[in-house]
Amino acid sequence: MTGIPEHISIWAELSTVDHELRHVDVPLGGAVVRTRVLRAGAGPDLVLLHGTGGHLEAYARDIAGLARDFRVTAYDMVGHGWSDTPDRPYTIDVLADHLIGLLDALGIERAHLSGESLGGWVVAWTAAHHPARVDRLVLNTPGNIANKPEVMARMRDSTMAAVTDPSDATVRRRVEFLFHHKEMVTDELVNLRRAVYSRPGFVRAITNTLVLQDPVVRKDFAWRREWVSTVAAPTLLLWTEHDPTGGLDEAALLLEWLPDARLHVIADAGHWPQWEKVDEYLNAHRDWLLLGKDPS
């Protein structure tokens, strides 16, 4: 008899945990953004933010484990997933305002924040500009801290290619970019992305997201000592050995700029350690957010 694979599907990952999936109306800049939200568990609030072009299923393998210790909220950022896609640039301040609006709508006064890639950038900006709303931070492979033009171009081109031609081949290449172990990319995960990228108006939405890969726009929000040094929340930098968007030299910049930060490096993983190294990802969050200690 062949053994059952470790990962079967997103539904199987959620099968043992009570959870709620719904849409929440979030005010943003005079409009209302219908925002897709998944919540599970009880305990201190922990909010999870995905990366560029992503959606809350990025955390499907972690929800059940995190829900043992936290009240977990994962959501599709404005212009992403199945949330609304208003026609405006999704700059970091807009994404942070959407996060604060969601916290207000859910009645969350203060929370731990954990963001991957673009989500890490958003939670760091939020901690700098809304410190009263943030307990502790996890910056999970936040990517391109040095604002390298070649990394911006690669992110912009690969994402736009997948959205303008959401075929299996182009979207699979975009998803595989996130993984060190590319054999872990499932048809289900690729087809979820294909469904998102095929939504009416999504080319416009991703164009509004990719303004952040334009150096002229990015300069107002780029990672810099001036604002990063104001982040008072204790911060865990969760890096990997094979992140295609930034190496340990960039983690060193954040360690220098952040007043209270620690670094934990996950071996044998790429841009999505929350998918490739679930146990280590969960233990790092539990140690840092609950126990206030460096992950071992």
pLDDT tens-digit map of 91-117: 999 999 999 999 999 999 999 999 999
Residue 31's pLDDT band (cuts 50, 70, 90)? very high
Question: Could you report the per-residue pLDDT of 150-186, keeping only the tens digit for each?
Answer: 888 888 999 999 999 999 999 999 999 999 999 999 9
> What is the mean pLDDT of the segment spanning 2-17?
91
> What is the mean pLDDT of the segment spanning 38-55?
97
Q: What angle do CA 86, 208, 195 make, to 5 degrees?
A: 75
pLDDT at 72: 98
Taking 60 as the threshold, does the pLDDT of residue 1 lie above it? no
How far apart (Å, rounded) are the C-alpha atoms in residues 216 and 211? 9
The backbone torsions φ and ψ at residue 262, rounded to the nearest 5 degrees and listed phi first, read -130, 155
Question: Could you report the per-residue pLDDT of 244-270, keeping only the tens digit for each?
Answer: 998 999 999 999 999 999 999 999 999
pLDDT at 71: 98
pLDDT at 107: 98
**Which homologous superfamily is 11-291 in?**
Alpha/Beta hydrolase fold, catalytic domain (3.40.50.1820)
How far apart (Å, rounded) are the C-alpha atoms in residues 185 and 172? 8
- C-alpha closest to that of 284 among 259, 268, 262: 262
Question: Could you report the per-residue pLDDT of 177-194, keeping only the tens digit for each?
Answer: 999 999 999 999 999 999
Question: Could you report the per-residue pLDDT of 117-155, keeping only the tens digit for each?
Answer: 999 999 999 999 999 999 999 999 998 898 888 888 888
Taking 70 as the threshold, does the pLDDT of residue 296 lie above it? no
Question: Could you report the per-residue pLDDT of 218-245, keeping only the tens digit for each?
Answer: 999 999 999 999 999 999 999 999 999 9
Q: Which residues, 6 or more positions from 81, have their beta carbon under 8 angstroms from its beta carbon?
A: 36, 50, 54, 55, 56, 196
